[in-house]
A and B are shown apart, each in its own frame.
Chain A
Amino acid sequence: MLKKRIGSFGIILIIALIFIFLPFVYNNQSFLFNMMLYIALAEGLNIIYGFTGYLPFGYVGFFGAGAYSASLAILFLHFPPLLSIFIGGAGAFLVGIILMPLLKLSGAYFAIANLAASQALYYIVANPNLESITHGPYGISLASIYNPHASYYTMLAVLVLSMIIVLFIRTSNFGLSLLAIKEDHITASLAGVNVAKARAIAWGLSAFVAGLSGACFAWYVSVFYPGTVFSLNISVIVIVFALFGGIGTIAGPLVGALILYSFYNFIGISAPEYFQLLYGILIIVLVLFLPDGITSILQKRKIYVP
């Protein structure tokens, strides 16, 4: 266990170092930021999907909730940015608690209900009647605190945090009990695992990570519309990234996001007109031929994937 932990820490450290120094040699910071964002989100999704089997199709709801909670903290309470980022995470966590009853549902039912919840949240935030609070359809402008470098490194901290959370879950008894629940929740509860509590913790952590990421995104872009941070595409992209790498590990979502987001930008730049077509074909091929993600190739050879 200890050895595995150290190995995983090594990966986290390498990733952190890469993203600290990469901006000095490669200056498309937005690309690097988005890369970190998608890795963090894929890891966050991994917490709930990889370890409990609940597919949060409306994961973007937490992302948007985080972006808006942080922005409102900045605009109305005049909190400093870092505190506001935390408020973003807390706001998403709160939404997670409100949506806790959804965990009663299983499989596709949960996925759909979660999707509906994220859309409902979007329509509430974007509603013109709430303009005095959320700015309604006008969107948010955080121009006064715009700071791409500070927000870049804050995003890096969130990324590291998300990976540490996954590391902790993967190598702790808590993680084992989650996997036991995923396998068979009745047997697990007979064996003394508090099923409801374990699921709730994973759910809350997952929401928290998405909220922090959303808050960083808000700070980084500084001007956004409700449709930007509640776009269903974010959910879908993150799910595809996590699956591509392989869920239930730290390395899976990381590798998935690194490869696919690079690929995504590569087609966007080199073959823009076939962007969507190639992406769709890639997803289909992936599901048909590599349903457990690319890290499963190693796992099948009995190689441990952190």
Chain B
Amino acid sequence: MFEYTVLAGIMYGLYFGLVGIGLNLIFGVMRMINLAHGDFIMLGAFLAYWLFHLFGINPLIAIAISCVVFLFLGIAFYYIFVPRLLQSKDPEMLSFILFFGLSQVIEAIIILSFGNNQRSVPSSTFGHSTFSILGNRFPISWLIVTIVAILVFIAVYWYFYHTKLGYATRAIMASRDESLVSGINVNRVSAFAFSIGLILASIAGIFSFFMIGAAYPSMGTNLTVISFAIIVLGALGNPMGTIIGGLIYGLAIMFMQTYLSSWSNLLPYLLLIAIMLFKPEGLIGKTVRSA
């Protein structure tokens, strides 16, 4: 049982790293908390659902389609909202409220157009077989999700450290003002980074059926809160740190479910508060942020 819990926790945790990473990227670049993050995950899930049921498109192919869709969506959202927001007195706080409004609008539009039903892409999409590690059997869909998550993390890493745009993104994350002075087109790079954040959220949504059950319009809020916990556990503003946060979350949940099930959803919050208070920079972060 112990072994099974550890292995399941790692796979589940990598998936939750994927759930949180987009939120963290956007926070890192824009210093704004995307309260609609969970709703973009929901949009990804609904996109995958419709592609699958209308055209029989496999979720793996849905990734490519969602990249295109959310790239444009992200750039549009960025230019509509962010430049105006940045001129205000307190963009950090006001963005909180703005994205909350956005999340309400997204949820409402989905309900008005598709209704409130739960929807699923069947887990049999990837076959009914199971695979085993060290004598523990897991559904094959878990293996696929794990591989996708790892590939996404590699892609994000490659973007940050091996592309021009990635360098610029990191420069903005270090200091927006200095980047402006050094001639980086901050708005263009940020808009692109914002899109990537949404794309990452949508990919998490595409695979949500296999890890967190059916999708429904109001699933977003809960996912946003969990994503918060994860990115704080890792390191706020450091996307790669999210992987650590996700792993801790996944393992913690699985262990709690095994040994103390009724308390299992308390744990992430207690962890979050403890880390905030005693190691506010996150487990692998560097800069201390306290007032």
Give the interface size bracket for B toward A.
Answer: 35 or more
Whether the pair B94, A273 counts as a contact (CB closer than 8 A) is no
Whether the pair A105, B266 counts as a contact (CB closer than 8 A) is no
Residues of B within 8 A of A123 (CB): 263, 265-266, 269
Residues 235-289 (chain B) with a chain A CB within 8 angstroms? 236, 262-263, 265-266, 268-270, 272-273, 276-277, 280, 289
Asked if A201 CB lies within 8 Å of chain B CBs, one says: no
Q: Which of B81, B95, B272 has the most CB of A within 10 A?
A: B272
Whether the pair A280, B280 counts as a contact (CB closer than 8 A) is no
Whether the pair A124, B266 counts as a contact (CB closer than 8 A) is yes
Q: What is the CA–CA distance of A276 and B92 in the complex, to the nearest angstrom?
A: 24
Given known pairs A239-B97, A291-B94, the reply for A280 and B277 (CB within 8 Å) is no
Residues of A within 8 A of B111 (CB): 276
Residues of B within 8 A of A127 (CB): 262-263, 266
Whether the pair A283, B291 counts as a contact (CB closer than 8 A) is no
Whether the pair A280, B228 counts as a contact (CB closer than 8 A) is no
Q: What is the CA–CA distance of A287 and B97 in the complex, to the nearest angstrom?
A: 7
Beta-carbon contacts of B100-142 to A below 8 Å, as 1s and 0s?
Answer: 1111111111011000000000000000000000000000000
| SS class, residues of chain B in contact with chain A | helix
Asked if B10 CB lies within 8 Å of chain A CBs, one says: no
Residues of B within 8 A of A273 (CB): 112
Given known pairs A108-B96, A129-B262, A239-B97, the reply for A120 and B277 (CB within 8 Å) is no
Residues of B within 8 A of A232 (CB): 221, 225
**Per a CB cutoff under 8 Å, which of B94, B236, B268, B270 touches A109?**
B236
Whether the pair B94, A280 counts as a contact (CB closer than 8 A) is no
A198 CB, nearest partner CB in chain B, Å? 13
Asked if B93 CB lies within 8 Å of chain A CBs, one says: yes
B267 CB, nearest partner CB in chain A, Å? 9
Number of interface residues of A (CB under 8 A): 47
Beta-carbon contacts of B32-71 to A below 8 Å, as 1s and 0s?
Answer: 0100000000000000000000000000000000000000
Given known pairs A55-B93, A101-B277, A287-B85, the reply for A276 and B104 (CB within 8 Å) is yes
Asked if B88 CB lies within 8 Å of chain A CBs, one says: yes
Given known pairs A102-B276, A109-B276, the reply for A288 and B84 (CB within 8 Å) is yes
Residues 65-93 (chain B) with a chain A CB within 8 angstroms? 81, 84-85, 88-90, 92-93
**Per a CB cutoff under 8 Å, which of B89, B102, B291 touches A106?**
B291
Q: What is the CA–CA distance of A291 and B272 in the complex, to the nearest angstrom?
A: 30
Q: What is the CA–CA distance of A123 and B253 in the complex, to the nearest angstrom?
A: 14
Residue of B nearest to A55 (CB): B93
Whether the pair A284, B98 counts as a contact (CB closer than 8 A) is yes
Whether the pair B33, A185 counts as a contact (CB closer than 8 A) is no
Q: What is the CA–CA distance of A105 and B232 in the complex, to the nearest angstrom?
A: 13
Q: Which among A110-118, A138-146, A211-219 touches the partner chain?
A: A110-118
**Per a CB cutoff under 8 Å, which of B93, B108, B232 touches A280?**
B108
**Per a CB cutoff under 8 Å, which of A120, A276, A279, A288 touches B269?**
A120
Residues 214-249 (chain A) with a chain B CB within 8 angstroms? 232, 236, 239-240, 243
Asked if A26 CB lies within 8 Å of chain B CBs, one says: no
Residues of A within 8 A of B290 (CB): 104-106, 109
Q: What is the CA–CA distance of A127 and B269 in the complex, to the nearest angstrom?
A: 15
A152 CB, nearest partner CB in chain B, Å? 30
Asked if B8 CB lies within 8 Å of chain A CBs, one says: no
Residues of A within 8 A of B112 (CB): 273-274, 277
**Per a CB cutoff under 8 Å, which of A103, A108, A116, A120 touches B92?**
A108
Whether the pair B272, A113 counts as a contact (CB closer than 8 A) is yes
Residue of B nearest to A283 (CB): B101
Asked if A10 CB lies within 8 Å of chain B CBs, one says: no
Residue of A nearest to B232 (CB): A112
Asked if A2 CB lies within 8 Å of chain B CBs, one says: no
Asked if A282 CB lies within 8 Å of chain B CBs, one says: yes
Whether the pair B96, A284 counts as a contact (CB closer than 8 A) is no
Given known pairs A116-B228, A276-B107, the reply for A104 and B97 (CB within 8 Å) is no
Whether the pair A288, B266 counts as a contact (CB closer than 8 A) is no
Q: What is the CA–CA distance of A71 and B234 in the complex, to the nearest angstrom?
A: 38
**Per a CB cutoff under 8 Å, which of B33, B100, B289 touches A283?**
B100
Asked if B186 CB lies within 8 Å of chain A CBs, one says: no
The chain A residues found within 8 Å of chain B, CB to CB, are 55, 57, 101-113, 115-117, 119-120, 123-124, 127-129, 185, 232, 236, 239-240, 243, 273-277, 279-284, 286-288, 291-292
The chain B residues found within 8 Å of chain A, CB to CB, are 27, 31, 33, 81, 84-85, 88-90, 92-98, 100-109, 111-112, 221, 225, 228-229, 232, 236, 262-263, 265-266, 268-270, 272-273, 276-277, 280, 289-291
- A-B CB proximity, top 3 nearest: A280-B104, A283-B101, A106-B291
Can you list 19 pairs linking A and B with CB atoms under 8 Å apart?
A105-B277, A106-B289, A107-B93, A107-B291, A108-B33, A109-B276, A112-B272, A119-B269, A120-B273, A123-B265, A232-B221, A240-B100, A277-B109, A280-B107, A280-B108, A286-B101, A291-B89, A291-B90, A291-B94
Additional A-B contacts beyond A109-B236, A113-B277, A116-B276 (14; CB < 8 A): A55-B96, A104-B290, A106-B289, A108-B236, A116-B229, A240-B97, A243-B97, A276-B104, A277-B108, A279-B101, A280-B108, A281-B105, A283-B98, A287-B85
